[in-house]
Amino acid sequence: MAQEIERKFLVTGDDWRSAPATTYRQGYLSTARERTVRVRVAGDKGFLTIKGISTGTSRSEFEYQIPPADAEAMLADLCLRPLIEKRRHLVIYAGLTWEVDEFFGDNAGLVVAEVELETEDQKIELPHWIGREVTGDRRYFNSSLIAHPYRSW
């Protein structure tokens, strides 16, 4: 079984902005707490992702590349609204890849950083632009940002 272990933080500085970035559009076919089913277009690639319920910093995750045209059709016709629009910057820091997501649309103004880990107790060095940890705060889950966009907080 595929397992995702990640921690999520708010971002306080701008030093990450020069890192390579890809535009993402994603929507959800299911946002049930027990499982989410996401469709994503990242650059010119399409993906279908199924995630299980979070337990601490871990959850099951299955991701499959799909034809971009299929992903676009699902985003247009099947996904809950609003769609999630963001630019993801990949920042290498202290041997780990940090994914810094700058949100747009209904979630404009929100910037979060995620880092995937090998184990739940893995020690990490935080970049100076990292703020408060929000790993367990469901408001910051992309699937939650559909029902409760950041601009409405």
Active site residues: 28
Query: Which residues, at least 6 apart from 129, have a Cβ–Cβ distance to it below 8 Å?
Result: 11, 12, 13, 14, 15, 16, 113
- Given its phi and psi angles, is residue 33 left (phi above 0), alpha (psi -120 to 50 degrees) or beta? alpha
Tokens of 127: 């970049």
CA distances in angstroms from 23 to 30, 87, 90, listed in the order given: 22, 4, 12
- Phi, psi dihedrals of residue 6, rounded to the nearest 5°: -145, 155
> In whole angstroms, what is the distance from residue 51 CA to residue 1 CA?
11
